[in-house]
């Protein structure tokens, strides 16, 4: 039975929890993009000449590139000259050295988002880098991590303190001209996290970055770089929120991961950018390039993502499996309610021998939401005995939403084995009635069924975040069923 619109409208009022605005004085770059702005940003961050040149090269490439149109998403034309490319809380002029120096208004903001930044209060075993608009405002547990040689710091500081590492790896996985948004990001990227795990070290705590867009008419262009040296391990999590605003806001991030021999990176995302209202007004346009390079043999990269926010999601966390016996994994839950559109998936590029990849994608569409799974598996000539397993499930709630699956397969080595499974189901009236007959409210029933559907992916998340993600799935679906 179909969802009834009145009931959808009825329960919708609750909406988005993270939609408040922090009232803090910020410093802006004037709107628009030019070489001057690129120089302005670079200067603000006191960057070395080579990085400025790198940015300018990216900017010039970007000018020659066209916005991609192949994704199954529609949105108003973005006016790149109407966006502000730099915004930072004024108090951050000289980056605070300790948490006591962080503006209380900012601490309160993160507190309200459920991310206390005082080390004595934070989640046990999780270090946090908090990025507010274009700058990092606080990074916890840095000293403790430094004891074991782990570098976890804002990107802009890594440029100063570890230029050799940044220079070596920046753009090594996602080249500046990789795509339109990656080139844009390379030109104007603001802040993000930098992580280096030395040889043989198992990072003693979860690392996480919370991205917060606050300023109006401002884009966020963060850059994250994680390097896991031989035999090391790290689990990293990012979370994202933004205020409710009537106009769209652009977010174009680049994330690069590198694993050396025997190393492993587990990268989890809970993306809850403001999705726009029920009529599709406002919301974040999320165009993100994420890619990991399994450089060394027997290394492993796992992407786990729970994508509930954003008006538009355009995102394909991928793995280049270069080292022999390396492993790539992609676990994804994407939810589109109301007018949200998500075009997301992954690319697994098998180069080395005996490389293995697993793709588990769960798409949930409700309201007028549209979901596309776009996944590519490429087995190159040298990838003897490569394996891929792809499972792609869609769940529809109501009859106005849509789910689409676009798999690309390119096999150049006949010893490889690929398996693909896909299902589409609809939350049945029968399932809902069964739950309600046992005393569950309709909302709880939907949340229960959806979480069951997503379980295979949720169980890949670190415990604390799995609970959060579970709640988020429930909240994001409020009003989805009548």
Partner 1 sequence: MLKIEDLHVEVDGKPILKGINLEIEAGQVHAIMGPNGSGKSTLAYVLAGKDGYEVTKGRVLYKGQDLLEMAPELRAAEGLFLGFQYPVAIPGVSNIYFLKAAVNAIRKHRGEDPLDAIDFMKLSKEKAALVQLPDELTKRSVNDGFSGGEKKRNEIFQMAMLEPSLAVLDETDSGLDIDALKVVAEGVNALRGPDRAMLVITHYQRLLDHIVPDVVHVLIDGQIVRTGDKGLAMQLEKEGYAGVRNALQP
- Specify the stretch interacting with partner 1 by CB under 8 A; choose among 131-139, 206-214, 379-387, 453-461: 453-461
Min CB(446)–partner 1 separation in Å: 11
Instruction: Check binding of 440 to partner 1 (CB under 8 A).
Output: yes
Instruction: Check binding of 449 to partner 1 (CB under 8 A).
Output: yes
Instruction: Check binding of 453 to partner 1 (CB under 8 A).
Output: yes
Whose Cβ is closer to partner 1: residue 153's or residue 454's?
Answer: 454
Instruction: Check binding of 452 to partner 1 (CB under 8 A).
Output: yes
- Residue 48's Cβ-count burial label (10 Å; 0-12, 13-18, 19+) is middle
Instruction: Check binding of 130 to partner 1 (CB under 8 A).
Output: no
- Specify the stretch interacting with partner 1 by CB under 8 A; choose among 138-146, 214-222, 437-445, 467-475: 437-445
Min CB(464)–partner 1 separation in Å: 18
Whose Cβ is closer to partner 1: residue 6's or residue 430's?
Answer: 430
Cβ-count burial 71-83 (b if 16+ within 10 Å, e if not)? bebeeeeeeeeeb
Instruction: Check binding of 448 to partner 1 (CB under 8 A).
Output: yes
Instruction: Check binding of 5 to partner 1 (CB under 8 A).
Output: no
Whose Cβ is closer to partner 1: residue 36's or residue 429's?
Answer: 429
Contact pick of 53, 428, 467, 471 for partner 1 (by CB under 8 A):
428
Whose Cβ is closer to partner 1: residue 416's or residue 451's?
Answer: 451
Instruction: Check binding of 106 to partner 1 (CB under 8 A).
Output: no
Instruction: Check binding of 1 to partner 1 (CB under 8 A).
Output: yes
What would the x/- binding string for partner 1 be over residues 213 to 252, using CB under 8 A?
Answer: ----------------------------------------
Contact pick of 218, 304, 355, 451 for partner 1 (by CB under 8 A):
451
Min CB(424)–partner 1 separation in Å: 14
- Specify the stretch interacting with partner 1 by CB under 8 A; choose among 274-282, 301-309, 352-360, 432-440: 432-440
Distance CA 193, CA 152 (A): 7
Instruction: Check binding of 442 to partner 1 (CB under 8 A).
Output: yes
Whose Cβ is closer to partner 1: residue 415's or residue 425's?
Answer: 425
What is the distance in angstroms between the CA of the first residue and the CA of the last residue of the chain? 9
Instruction: Check binding of 430 to partner 1 (CB under 8 A).
Output: yes
Instruction: Check binding of 437 to partner 1 (CB under 8 A).
Output: yes
Instruction: Check binding of 340 to partner 1 (CB under 8 A).
Output: no
Instruction: Check binding of 50 to partner 1 (CB under 8 A).
Output: no
Min CB(440)–partner 1 separation in Å: 5
Instruction: Check binding of 209 to partner 1 (CB under 8 A).
Output: no
Instruction: Give how many residues touch partner 1 by CB under 8 A.
Output: 24
| Residues found near partner 1 in the complex (CB under 8 A) | 1, 428-431, 433-442, 444, 448-449, 451-456
């Amino acid at each position: 039975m179909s969802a009834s619109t009145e009931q959808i409208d009825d329960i919708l009022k609750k909406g988005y929890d993270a939609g408040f605005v922090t009232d803090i004085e910020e410093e802006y770059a004037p709107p628009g993009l030019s070489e001057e702005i690129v120089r302005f940003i670079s200067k603000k961050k006191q960057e070395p000449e080579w990085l400025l040149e790198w940015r300018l090269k990216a900017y010039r490439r970007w000018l020659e590139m066209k916005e991609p149109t192949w994704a199954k998403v529609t949105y108003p034309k973005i006016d790149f000259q109407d966006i502000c490319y730099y915004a930072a809380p004024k108090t951050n002029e000289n980056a605070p050295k300790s948490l006591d120096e962080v503006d209380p208004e900012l601490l309160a903001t993160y507190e309200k988002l459920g991310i206390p930044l005082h080390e004595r209060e934070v989640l046990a075993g999780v270090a946090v880098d908090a990025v507010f608009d274009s700058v990092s405002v606080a990074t916890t547990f840095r000293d403790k991590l430094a004891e074991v040689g782990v570098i976890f710091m804002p990107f802009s500081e890594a440029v100063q303190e570890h230029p050799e590492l940044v220079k070596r790896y920046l753009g090594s996985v996602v080249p500046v001209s990789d795509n339109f948004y990656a080139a844009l990001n390379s030109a104007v990227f603001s802040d993000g996290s930098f992580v280096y795990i030395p040889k043989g070290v198992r990072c003693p705590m979860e690392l996480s970055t919370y991205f917060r867009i606050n300023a109006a008419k401002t884009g966020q262009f963060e850059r994250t770089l994680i390097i896991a040296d031989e035999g090391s391990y790290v689990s990293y999590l990012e979370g994202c929120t933004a205020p409710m605003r009537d106009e769209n806001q652009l977010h174009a991030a680049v994330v690069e991961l590198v694993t050396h021999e025997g190393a492993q990176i587990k990268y989890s995302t809970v993306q809850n950018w403001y999705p726009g209202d029920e009529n599709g007004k406002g919301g974040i346009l999320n165009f993100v390039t994420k890619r990991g390079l399994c450089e060394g043999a027997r290394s492993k990269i796992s992407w786990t993502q729970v994508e509930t926010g954003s008006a538009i999601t355009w995102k394909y966390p991928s793995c280049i499996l270069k080292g022999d016996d390396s492993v790539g994994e992609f676990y994804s839950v994407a939810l589109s309610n109301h007018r949200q559109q998500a075009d997301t998936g992954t690319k697994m590029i098998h180069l080395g021998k005996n490389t293995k990849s697993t793709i588990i994608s769960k798409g949930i569409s409700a309201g007028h939401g549209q979901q596309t799974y776009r996944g590519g598996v490429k087995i190159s000539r040298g990838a003897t005995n490569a394996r891929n397993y792809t499972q792609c499930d869609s769940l529809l709630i109501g009859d106005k939403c849509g789910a689409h699956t676009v798999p690309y397969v390119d096999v150049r080595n006949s010893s490889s084995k690929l398996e693909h499974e896909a299902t589409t189901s609809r939350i049945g009236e029968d399932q809902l009635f069964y739950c309600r007959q046992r005393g569950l409210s309709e909302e709880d029933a939907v949340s229960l069924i959806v979480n069951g559907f997503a379980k295979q992916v949720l169980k890949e998340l670190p415990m604390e975040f799995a609970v959060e993600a579970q709640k988020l799935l429930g909240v994001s679906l409020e009003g989805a069923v009548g």
